[in-house]
Structure 1
Amino acid sequence: MLPSDSSSSENPNPSPLGLSDSPDFSQSEMDSIISSLLTFPDSSSLSISSSFDRVLDTLLSSGDDTVQDQVIDRTLERFSLLLESTKRRSRKRATLHNSISWFLPSDLTIKVFSMLDTKSLMQVSACCTMLNKCAMDPLCYSHIDLTTAFKHADDQVLHTLINRSGKQLRSLKLGRRDAPVYVPSLFTNSCLAPLQFTGNLLRSLHIYYIGFMYIDSLLAPLSACSNLTNLKIVGVNVFLEPIIELLARKCCLIEHLSLDNYSQGIITDSTIELFVANCTKLTSLTLLNFKLSDAMAQILVNGFHKLKYINLSNTVGFDGSFLRVLGDRCRESPLETLILRDCISLQEGEVVKFLNSIIAGNFISIRYIDVSSDKGLASDGERRTSKPNFPLETLKKKRWDVTFVGDFPLRPRFFRFGTLTEDLMV
């Protein structure tokens, strides 16, 4: 039998590409083959695309399905390697160009990048290796914002950015500020876990609409944030009283606090008293949808000696008598803004007494008051009024620097004046 016949009997279906017994190539020969492919000149009469089609058709015309699959897989793999290599060389050229033309040293570049929002930082980090190296510096992640611009951000994205920040993290925002309550969040109960190790210098934390959370998933990270000065929690289904207690014990530097009682949990007098006693630096307080008595409200407004802004909208429980008591005691109060929107039990008479107290010279720092309500104000027991008898003209004359807002849709009329102006909208 001839040698060729013997070879044929041993390998009746040889691979078109020699997959089983490929010839050995030296590195220089392989480089030469690839170089010939890449340097092949363009020509209208010679179509590289058509050549690829013809060669692949020939290679796939013989052999069984397994061999054909091997041919396709190998072709895809090798051209994928070529594509990735080309991208690496392109980034290297861009890096070389940028390193020559970029006019800022790396330390100043990092300083500039640290001022970018998180989305812009991600975009610039993809430009080239040089800019990516600068964008990976921990200082660039001192302020992380994963809100509206990052609709698909999840725990993995958040953890990656927090880890990049190292000990530089100063502010963190996550969730969707414009999200309706039925939009599911991609963040889980463990999303804030890294703060237990990196949150010591965190100053500001804002959380928006991330749904249900176990209380320990918030308490454990917050307990490590002893330098926190700004906390905002909106649209999170978790009881907030333990958080207020933790702030009073572990985060006494808090200056700005905004909580939306999404879970409708209650808060006790003892928690209010502990909070006021320990968080003496508070200047801005927003408590929405809470159930507070007049005694609680009085402690809050009167207890924080640096308080400039307070918003107790949607409160159920107080009738406003705390305003009268405060008016008699708080002539030198630093309070500038008081918002009591949609407080169902707020009494017309108590608001009138409070305004008269301001006219008499109390609350000399007050500049803005809002008592608007979709359901009007309580008046004479169970009655409600959309036509409150406020001393607006007198207030305007005596305290022209105060802006008063009373919007009552039951009576389509809008009262607002300030700085010697009065707007009436019907």
Structure 2
Amino acid sequence: MDTVFPKRPCSVNYISPDTPARVSRSDEMDRLLEIFLGFSDSSLDLSLERLLESRACDSEKNSLIDSALRLGSVLQESAKKSWRRRASLHNSISWPLPPDITVKVFSALDTQSLCHTAATCSMFNKCAMDPLCYANIDLTSIVPKVNNTVVTMMIQRAGKNLLSLKLGILPGSTVSTGTSRPAYSINIPVDTPVFSWHDKRTRQGKESCVLTRSCLLSLSTDGGAAGALLRKLHLYNIDRMDNAALCTALSACPSLLDLEVVGLHVELRHTLESVSTNCHLIERLFFESSKTGRDDSLKSPTCADLVNRCPNVTSLALRGFKLQDHKVRTLVKGFRKLKFVDFSTSYSVTGIFLRNLGSGTNGQFLEFLILRDCMHLKEVEVARFLSSVLAGDFKFLRYIDISNREGLASDEDWYDRCYTPSNIPLSRVQEERPEICLLADFPKEGSFVEVEHIIDSEVNSDASLQLQLSSQTSDGSSFMSSSESSYTSDQGSGNEDGHNTTYAIYEESSDEIEFLAT
């Protein structure tokens, strides 16, 4: 008798229409995809060829090929998403830090590194979107890379956590003074940027990567929530920024401690008025003119208001402006906590403001004094100042820079330059005050005469001045026209407070007696 073996069940379960429990469409799709993925590449290739041969016309064949391409693309994208999810799950399991610690680590990264980290995986992206990661935003670069949209997005991500914001195009990183610069015996403080006004960067770029006057508007929206706790604001070479836009931004930053403005077409007076009105906690103020020697907008009342309303200033740098000594003295002597002073490339500073500065309660705490390339800085005033240093004044002074690529001015006529100042006790300062780093770098005699001859021939020609204006500015603002004309006026006409004197008799004027007596 033949043995009867039981029938082997079919590998594919057949679902009868009469089966009460119907399989859902998703289950059928899953089963079909599983079978589909089990085929080899050659089988799929032959199957597609057979299907194409079964079609009668070319349009049907083309439609079949398009459907296969779409299906393959969808399947590939789905596989990539699944891979990323699995990778993210793997990272979350293997990553040793909890999310809160990860956010703190990410918050210590610079903005560019943070963006790269956010693109690594979905887990890192989630942590990198935390507002704390955008507390310190640095979008500066050597060439234009960001626009208003990027800045707004970053500020909105930070929200009320924003503490520091840096924007714009950085100038060159090398200092070009026209003379060899000796090695420093101490480190330059952080108050002095590594770039210089002599080496300006081109600001040309694609329109899609240009910052405009509204790039800081997000600081003022929602009741100024983003700017409420902002401590540091650095702006570099934003051509389209104007007085109104900058002042609006400053009005939303009552907690500002550090303001650095370089190469913006804004007036010194308007900016300082806005600072004194809105930023009473300011400690560091660095302002470098975009047009060296042509902005003489600062008024004496503005200086007084700044001193009275911002008593915490410890670092003051006003570079490239047309400043008179009595205004400078109001600032330096008024700030009781002032340690760092930089008036490099200031056009009208002669050094008179230094007289008796270290003998009182104010000014004696100075640690850094930088008067580099001040056109009208006089040899006699420098000698008098260093003599007071030798006499015991300025006990905390650590750094002095009186270098000048055009030499120092003589006492009688600033056109008469001094290239080898024998009356200045440089060696005695180095011997008796060795803790002070004294820089006194001057060019060879004769270089200044050639430069001044070229300058005189240009500024005395109205046509040349207009041509220079049209080539240097594109916004046509009235501020540039007024400041340019003031630069070409008489050297002593910069006193807009009613002090119309010349440099030759400035030391004998009533202005000097008035502010030296304060």
Q: TM-score, normalised by structure 2?
A: 0.67
> Which residue does 2:198 correspond to in 1?
none
2:437 aligns with one of 391, 403, 411? 403
Aligned partners of 2:169 and 2:203 also within 8 Å? no
Amino acid at match of 1:189: R
Aligned partners of 2:131 and 2:158 also within 8 Å? yes
Matched, 1:143 2:167: no
Matched, 1:183 2:204: yes
> Which residue does 1:303 correspond to in 2?
334
Aligned partners of 2:142 and 2:170 also within 8 Å? no
Work out the CA distance in 2 between the residues paired with 1:200 and 1:284.
Answer: 22
Matched, 1:161 2:154: yes
SS in 2 for 1:357: helix
Matched, 1:62 2:58: yes
> Which residue does 2:417 correspond to in 1?
384
Residue 134 of structure 1 deviates from its aligned partner by 1.4
Amino acid at match of 2:97: L
2:286 aligns with one of 250, 258, 282? 258
1:193 aligns with one of 204, 217, 220? 217
Work out the CA distance in 2 between the residues paired with 1:339 and 1:57.
Answer: 86
Q: Deviations over 1:220-265 (max 9, x none)?
A: 1210100000011112122232121011011010001111121543
Residue 182 of structure 1 deviates from its aligned partner by 3.6
Seen in structure 2, the aligned counterparts of structure 1 residues 239 and 74 have a Cα distance that, compared at 3 Å, is farther
Matched, 1:223 2:223: no
Q: How does 1:204-283 map to 2 (within 5 A)?
A: 204-263=232-291, 264-265=294-295, 266-283=297-314
Work out the CA distance in 2 between the residues paired with 1:107 and 1:225.
Answer: 28
SS in 2 for 1:270: helix
> Which piece of structure 1 moves more, 29-38 or 238-247?
29-38
Seen in structure 2, the aligned counterparts of structure 1 residues 330 and 119 have a Cα distance that, compared at 3 Å, is same
Q: Which has the higher strand share?
A: 1
SS in 1 for 2:152: helix
> Which residue does 1:129 correspond to in 2?
122
Aligned partners of 2:241 and 2:265 also within 8 Å? yes
> Which residue does 1:369 correspond to in 2?
400
SS in 1 for 2:263: strand
Work out the CA distance in 2 between the residues paired with 1:365 and 1:218.
Answer: 35
Residue 280 of structure 1 deviates from its aligned partner by 0.5
Residue 86 of structure 1 deviates from its aligned partner by 2.7
> Which residue does 1:333 correspond to in 2?
364
Identity in percent: 42
Work out the CA distance in 1 between the residues paired with 2:421 and 2:300.
Answer: 31
Cα RMSD, aligned residues only? 3.1
Work out the CA distance in 2 between the residues paired with 1:138 and 1:393.
Answer: 55
Amino acid at match of 1:145: D
Amino acid at match of 1:216: A
Residue 96 of structure 1 deviates from its aligned partner by 1.0
Q: How does 1:35-184 map to 2 (within 5 A)?
A: 35=34, 38-41=37-40, 46=42, 62-63=58-59, 78-148=71-141, 151-178=144-171, 180-184=201-205
Amino acid at match of 2:323: L
Structure 2 gaps, min length 5? 1-23, 173-200, 447-518
Work out the CA distance in 1 between the residues paired with 2:247 and 2:28.
Answer: 64
> Which piece of structure 1 moves more, 308-317 or 79-88?
79-88
Q: Deviations over 1:181-204 (max 9, x none)?
A: 443461121111111131100000
Aligned partners of 2:283 and 2:313 also within 8 Å? yes
Residue 84 of structure 1 deviates from its aligned partner by 3.4
Aligned partners of 2:211 and 2:240 also within 8 Å? no
Seen in structure 2, the aligned counterparts of structure 1 residues 30 and 252 have a Cα distance that, compared at 3 Å, is same
SS in 2 for 1:401: coil
Amino acid at match of 2:216: L
SS in 2 for 1:210: coil
Work out the CA distance in 1 between the residues paired with 2:46 and 2:339.
Answer: 75
Q: TM-score, normalised by structure 1?
A: 0.81
Amino acid at match of 2:149: Q
Amino acid at match of 1:383: D
Residue 37 of structure 1 deviates from its aligned partner by 5.3
Q: Deviations over 1:292-331 (max 9, x none)?
A: 1010111111111111111101101121111123244468
Seen in structure 2, the aligned counterparts of structure 1 residues 358 and 89 have a Cα distance that, compared at 3 Å, is same
SS in 1 for 2:78: helix
Work out the CA distance in 1 between the residues paired with 2:263 and 2:48.
Answer: 57
Seen in structure 2, the aligned counterparts of structure 1 residues 118 and 331 have a Cα distance that, compared at 3 Å, is closer
Work out the CA distance in 1 between the residues paired with 2:91 and 2:387.
Answer: 67
Work out the CA distance in 2 between the residues paired with 1:91 and 1:98.
Answer: 10
Q: Deviations over 1:70-90 (max 9, x none)?
A: 778766655543343233212
> Which residue does 2:427 correspond to in 1?
393
Seen in structure 2, the aligned counterparts of structure 1 residues 60 and 88 have a Cα distance that, compared at 3 Å, is farther
